[in-house]
Amino acid sequence: MYKILVVEDDPIIAGAVTKELIRWGLEAKAAEDFSNIRGEFVHYAPHLVILDISLPFFNGYYWCQEIRKISEAPILFLSSAADNMNIVMAMDMGADDFIPKPFDLSVLTAKVRALLRRTYHFAGSQSLIEHRGAVLDLNEGTLLVGEQKAELTRNEFRILKLLMEQRGQTVSRDAIMTHLWQSDSFIDDNTLTVNINRLRKKLEQLGLEDFIGTKKGIGYFVR
The CA dihedral of 65, 153, 44, 221, to the nearest 10 degrees, is: -130
128-222 is classed CATH 2.102.10.10: no
Which residues, listed in sequence order, are joined to residue 136 by a DSSP beta bridge?
129, 143
Burial class (CB in 10 A: 0-12, 13-18, 19+), 121: exposed
Domain span(s) for CATH 3.40.50.2300 in the chain: 3-120
For 41-174, strand residue ranges (E) read 48-51, 75-79, 97-100, 128-131, 134-137, 142-145, 148-151, 171-172
Kindly report, residue by residue over 13-55, the tens digit of the pLDDT. Answer: 999 999 999 988 899 999 999 999 999 998 888 999 999 999 9
The answer to whether 76 and 98 have CB atoms below 8 angstroms apart is yes
Q: Looking at this protein, which amino acid is placed at residue 9?
A: D
User: Can you say whether the dihedral through the CA atoms of 35, 36, 37, 40 is positive or negative?
Assistant: negative
pLDDT, residue 186, reads 61
Q: What is the mean pLDDT of residues 103-132?
A: 79
Helix (H, G, I), strand (E, B) or coil at 84: helix
Burial class (CB in 10 A: 0-12, 13-18, 19+), 89: middle
| Rounded CA Rg of the chain | 20
CATH of 3-120 among 3.40.50.1950, 3.40.50.2300, 3.40.1390.10, 3.40.50.450: 3.40.50.2300
| For residue 114, pLDDT beyond 70 | yes
Q: Binning pLDDT at 50, 70 and 90, where does residue 127 land?
A: confident
Q: What is the mean pLDDT of residues 168-194?
A: 78
**pTM score over 0.85:** no
Q: What is the mean pLDDT of residues 150-178?
A: 88
pLDDT, residue 165, reads 85
Domain span(s) for CATH 1.10.10.10 in the chain: 128-222
Q: What is the mean pLDDT of residues 193-206?
A: 91
The answer to whether 173 and 193 have CB atoms below 8 angstroms apart is no
